[in-house]
Amino acid sequence: MSDTWTIHYYHKDGGVLTAATTVKLSDSAAGYGVKLKASPYTEVVADGTAMTNVSTGYYTYTMTFGAATAADTVVYSTEYSVSVEVVYLGRTKYITYDYTTRSDPSADTRGTTAWACDEVEILTGVTTAGNALKHVQAGADRVIAGQHPEDPTAIHTWSWLPQYREITLAASDDDTCVGDFTGTSLALETTAAFFAGTSADVGRYLEIEDIGLYRITAAGSTTTATCTAATGQYATDFSTAVACHFAPVVDLPSDFGGLAGDILHCFSDTYSNYALKNVSADEMMRLWRGDNQADDGVLCFAIVPKLFSQAAAQAYQLLWYPRQSYTRIMRYRCHVEGATLTDSSSVYLPGGARYYDLFLQAGMAHAETYQMRVFGGPHEQLFRTKLAEAIALDMALFQNVEAISMADAPEEISRLG
């Protein structure tokens, strides 16, 4: 199949797509419709050539890519001048612009973000850096969200996106420490080797007996670390060693969408697994303060807004009780978020070759709506059709993946959004 380049024109009156009297490729001097911008200014489309009326107010003209510029034939990565003549209500206007055609897809760029951006640029006629990418990004986010076009309450979970991931509940160690405050920064030193001494320490929480809860912000050695005190916390040097341990707190990742049932695993074959019990934040604080409850085989947990910085889109934390003597793994459902794309011939759109055209159409629909201000236009309609077909295909290929209604969504997803 030949590769083609299509010129698009939307004619609107008062923001509404409206049929023009005539739409042609022609300039005001009646010299050309499309031509090579530089010498020898070869004419590609003759002056006065009518554009195809696809639907009300929507006009196109398609050319083929070839080895050399000729009649109805353009060359990759080459700049052309385009002029559109529009006659409407007895008046004539001309829209002229220069456009550089996309690069040769034989370099295996199809399916990349660069390819999608090139296609969006052809639609809009705007080649400003980053302009097409914002439409491709918004379109990708819309596809990944999985909202069914025929039922806004139905959310499809794509089979090619991660369904579950794991959270590690690290074993709780105990030691004694001294601290030196400077402003809100706490330089901490433990009696023995306590920290990893690497970036793995950063973000963990340290509970210092009778003083407070602190977040490690910089790794030091196995006996030192830098912490940050919350506003209003005790912030005085303490030279007498006091007990400390890693707090039973873990920052939940930004894709957290609720725990996956009662799935809990312990690496120790000799240590019994716990049942899970969801408690309120107030109940968790009571358990922490008491810290003398008998081990009855139940691991209590609470999901709360983060106590400290919400950097890296992490807004929630998982708290648990009692503190664990063994590393445990908890499974969670993924609340899928779109990845940040770049305009690159080496970055591919999500979903593989089966879904390239769907992601491209999503970007085209976004550009049509939000840049060209055509609402419910042909690209939007084609996207909705492609999306419904893709969801049906994905569900047929992977019977275990089903659309869920947000009305039936788990409490954790409703709460964390």
| DSSP characters over 122-172 | HHH----TTHHHHHHHHHHHHHHHTEETTEEEEEE--TTS--EEEEEEPPP
Residue 411 lies in a domain: yes
In total, the chain counts a number of residues equal to 417
Say yes or no: 284 and 353 in one domain: no
Taking the CA atoms of 405, 407, 409 and 413 in sequence, report the sign of the dihedral they define: positive
pLDDT score of 231: 44
Asked whether 337 and 413 are in contact (CB, 8 A), the reply is no
Q: Tell me the whole-structure pTM to 2 decimals.
A: 0.53
CATH number at residue 201: 2.40.10
Residue 195 CB-half CA count within 13 A: 27
Domain end marker among 300, 334, 368: 334
Both tokens of residue 15? 């923001």
Say yes or no: 18 and 91 in one domain: yes
Question: Could you report the average pLDDT of every consecutive run of 10 residues in the chain (417 residues)?
Answer: 82 88 94 92 94 92 91 91 94 91 72 89 87 93 88 82 76 78 77 82 78 80 79 64 82 77 60 73 79 66 72 72 78 73 81 85 94 91 93 72 38 33
Kindly state the DSSP code that residue 271 receives in the 8-state scheme.
S
pLDDT score of 131: 92
Residues 6+ apart with CB under 8 A from 380: 365, 368, 369, 374
- The pair phi, psi for residue 118, each rounded to 5°, is -60, -45
Say yes or no: 59 and 124 in one domain: no
Asked whether 98 and 80 are in contact (CB, 8 A), the reply is yes
Amino acid at 78: T
Domain around 320: 251-334
Domain end marker among 51, 66, 101: 101
Residue 166 lies in a domain: no
pLDDT score of 410: 39
- Beta bridge partners, 36, equal 80
Say yes or no: 96 and 145 in one domain: no
Residue 284 lies in a domain: yes
CA gap 287, 405 in Å, rounded: 36
pLDDT score of 414: 32
Say yes or no: 116 and 36 in one domain: no
Say yes or no: 77 and 125 in one domain: no
Say yes or no: 260 and 242 in one domain: no
- Shortest CA distance to 324 belongs to which of 416, 384, 229, 250? 250
Say yes or no: 59 and 13 in one domain: yes
Longest CA–CA span in the chain (Å) reads 92
- Beta bridge partners, 330, equal 167, 264
Domains in the chain, number: 4
Say yes or no: 317 and 302 in one domain: yes
Domain end marker among 247, 266, 283: 247
- Beta bridge partners, 154, equal 405
Say yes or no: 112 and 85 in one domain: no
Q: How many CB atoms lie within 10 A of CB 268?
A: 12
Prior bond of 253 cis (ω within 30°): no
pLDDT score of 308: 56
Taking the CA atoms of 308, 313, 315 and 318 in sequence, report the sign of the dihedral they define: negative
CA gap 57, 313 in Å, rounded: 43
Say yes or no: 209 and 284 in one domain: no
CA gap 394, 412 in Å, rounded: 26
pLDDT score of 107: 63
Say yes or no: 11 and 89 in one domain: yes
pLDDT score of 182: 73
Asked whether 131 and 372 are in contact (CB, 8 A), the reply is no
- Shortest CA distance to 288 belongs to which of 301, 278, 305? 301
